[in-house]
Each structure stands twice: as C-alpha cells, then as structure tokens.
Amino acid sequence: MSVQTAKIILLHGWGFTPAIWTPLIDALVRHGINRDQLLAPKLPLTSGSLSQTIEAFIPMIPERAHLVGWSLGGELALALSHTMGERIASLSLMASTPCFMNRDDWALGQPASLLDDFDQRLAENPVALLKRFSMLIRHGDVAASRDRVLTEALHHCNDGDPAQLAAGLQLLRNIDLRTSVSSVTTPSQLIHGAQDAVVPVAAAAWLAEALNAPLEMIKDASHALPLTHARQIADRLHGFMEQHA
C-alpha cells in the first residue's frame, strides 16, 4: 500500500481548528498526494479524559493510515499509536512531547502555573486567551512574529468553543505518555522548531530517543510549524511516508 492510497490523518493542536493544516495540505497535494487521502478531523474533545478521547477517535482511523500530529495532536497521535499501532503505517510528530506539564519527575514541560493562567483567562475572556496563545506559539521566530498574514491565519484557525478549550486544557494537564512510549513500534519521526517556546526542545529530544526516531530541528522556527514551514515539512513527510508505505 503506497502513500498514494493510505489515508493521512492530520491531528491539530489545542486552541485551533483543522484549518491550521491548509498550507501543509496544499503542499502535500503539490507532491502528488490525492487531496481525498488527506483527512483533518476536528479533535473530539468532549472531556479531559485521554481514554475517552482516544475511544472517540478510533472510528475515525481507517484500516491503514499515516498519523501526523502537531502539539496536542501529537500527544494524541502518540497515544493512538500505542493503542492501535497495527493500523498505523507511520507516525510523524511536530512540536510534540510525551508530557506537557511539569511533574515531580519531569522538568521538560511547562509549569502548572501556565495552565492555571490559561484556565483563568478562559473563564474571563476566551478571545483574549487565544490571542495570548497565538503570540506564544510564534515566540522565537522573528519572521513569524512580524508577519501580519500569519497573524490573520492564526486568527482564522482559532477554535473559540469554550467547552473544547476547557477539555483540551484538562488533557494537557492529564496526559503523561512516558511509560507508554516504549511499546510504540510504529516507524516514527519528529520535527521541531529550534526556538519553540511552548514545547521545549529537550522534551522532543527525550521523545526521539525513547522512540528511537530521527529528530529534525528547524532553525529559527517557533511552535507554529504547520503555518510557517509547510513546504519544508511536506517534503519531510512525503519522503518518510513513501519509505513506510
């Protein structure tokens, strides 16, 4: 089964809709991939429970698929590969981590205070929260931080549903996949921005080593990879998926 026939499932991150994938989908189509093979579902965030979220995802995954996940979508893609690896031809993780929040034995994430702040902002003003997060994911990429087109694109891709946002924040608090990684046998690769201010580079390096997977660092890139480096990522994805068709 080639990459031309296997489905490619694109899982977006917290705070955004599947529209975040539009530049990457267009870039993959230019590689000759049929647009009908590219599926970008809205994350089924109905609760902060990882098991319930994965259960909701299972009917969306065809018999054979390549999984591509960005940010929270990468954590969910990793969990899906752990749960149903026999269906997953390849796993590509962008700006991803096995554990978003710091814990007593994990210092490669974000402090709980960040999510506390997001919870408060969500209760007070969801629009302002998304604006704050959009600034954070661009931080570190000088070109992106000054790009008005990118600002408009991020605004267009925002998910303003408070229930979805709240469930996603709870997932970010709860997910810890470190003990699951060793059982993931899906051929995997990681792509990360060298200036990512949301997911530390060290977390991606830890995950790459645990998966025995290559890690491509994109110089001067931030967390906003699907919008800022779609062509470069499409080149990488196409070659990897062809290799593991």
Q: Which residues are tagged catalytic?
A: 71, 196, 223
Overall residue count recorded for the chain in this entry: 245
Joined tokens for residue 160? 């303003």
Q: Are 99 and 123 in contact (CB under 8 A)?
A: no
152 Cβ contact partners less than 8 Å away, ≥ 6 residues apart = none
Q: Please give the DSSP secondary-structure letter assigned to residue 59.
A: G
Joined tokens for residue 12? 């977006």
Task: Please report how many Cα atoms fall inside a 13 Å half-sphere around the Cα of residue 193, on the Cβ side.
Answer: 26
* CA–CA gap between residue 132 and residue 154 (Å, rounded): 11
Single-letter code of the amino acid located at 69: G
